[in-house]
Amino acid sequence: MKYMDYDVVHKRIGNRIFKNKLIKNIFLLSTLFSLLVLGILIYRVVVDSIGWLDWQFLTSKLSMSADRAGIKGVIAGTLWLMAVVAPITMFLGIGTAIYLEEYAKRGKFQAFIQTNISNLAGVPSVIFGLLGLTVFGRMFNLGSSILAGGLTMSLLVLPIVVVASQEAIRAVPGFLREASYGMGATKWQTTKNIVLPAALPGILTGVILALSRAIGETAPLVVLGIPALIMPVPDHIMDDFTALPMQIYYWTVDSVLTVEYANLAAATIVVLLLVLFVMNSIAIIIRNKFQKRY
């Protein structure tokens, strides 16, 4: 009979504990390094925005003079853009996820659609800008209007909403569906009254995070030809507009010639970060609220 060699066992346990601590410390250092870089960036942006980010900056229109420039029209254009993106993304994204998970038959066609949606989620945003320029800007003659920008951004974030909604619907326990069918409910009644309420936290979280990405994207708007000129505040979806990321981009480029534009860009970045922080906080609040309910 072969007995256990306690010296070998003790040595192996010691090696495993050492490896565990080493990997743990490596991950900790990676996290701290990332936080350090993020902290430095935020610090620089906040410092550069001091003295420029005030009420006058938020309520004034764009101007050739850096001292009088504001982002009232930029904020309005961003809100108009989200007013187009949000309903289109929610309706098409959630509807597609419901069809694929609850109604589509498992087979080659369903797998083909699923694969393409997953691939679209990884396509560079500039490609969607080229698509939006070709289809919405030129084919439908929408130019650089709010509607063209909103439709382009909707295409960009639609795969994200579909995938997030599918994961949320897929996570609903099967016995809830079976209990509903056992009570005589139809497919749509079960989906509407059982599946969607249970999947709502994940769906809404995915939607808001997707909108957060849309509000911070620049490349599709640059390709679409969205200007950053001195223009009136947009009144409807067919007006030309500019958005926060676009204005940050142009002010950053122009800071080579006029140093003060770098401060304007920093102040606009702070506003954009605050908007993203609020949207992400709303996503967390909604998720926690509905998780307690369902």
Give the separation between CA 11 and CA 270, rounded to whole angstroms.
Answer: 54
Ranges of each domain in the chain: 1-49, 55-292
pLDDT tens for 195-247 read: 988 888 888 888 888 888 888 888 888 888 777 666 678 888 888 888 888 88
Give the separation between CA 158 and CA 67, rounded to whole angstroms.
Answer: 39
Helix extents (H) in 123-231 = 125-132, 146-170, 174-182, 187-190, 196-216, 219-224
pLDDT tens for 18-60 read: 889 999 999 999 999 999 999 999 999 999 888 888 888 888 8
Q: Which amino acid is at 102?
A: E
- pLDDT tier at 292 (50, 70, 90 boundaries)? low
> Tokens standing for 194?
């059982």
Angle at 12 between CA 6 and CA 16, to 5 degrees: 140
Which pTM does this prediction carry?
Answer: 0.83
Give the separation between CA 49 and CA 62, rounded to whole angstroms.
Answer: 17
State which fold the 55-292 domain adopts. Answer: MetI-like fold (1.10.3720)
pLDDT tens for 122-139 read: 888 889 989 999 999 889
Contact 240/73 with Cβ under 8 angstroms?
no
- pLDDT tier at 169 (50, 70, 90 boundaries)? very high
* Integer angstrom CA distances of residue 98 from 28, 85, 122, 165, 169: 40, 20, 22, 8, 8
Q: Which of 119, 113, 84, 116 is nearest to 99 (CA)?
A: 113
Angle between helices 125-132 and 146-170 (to 10 degrees): 130
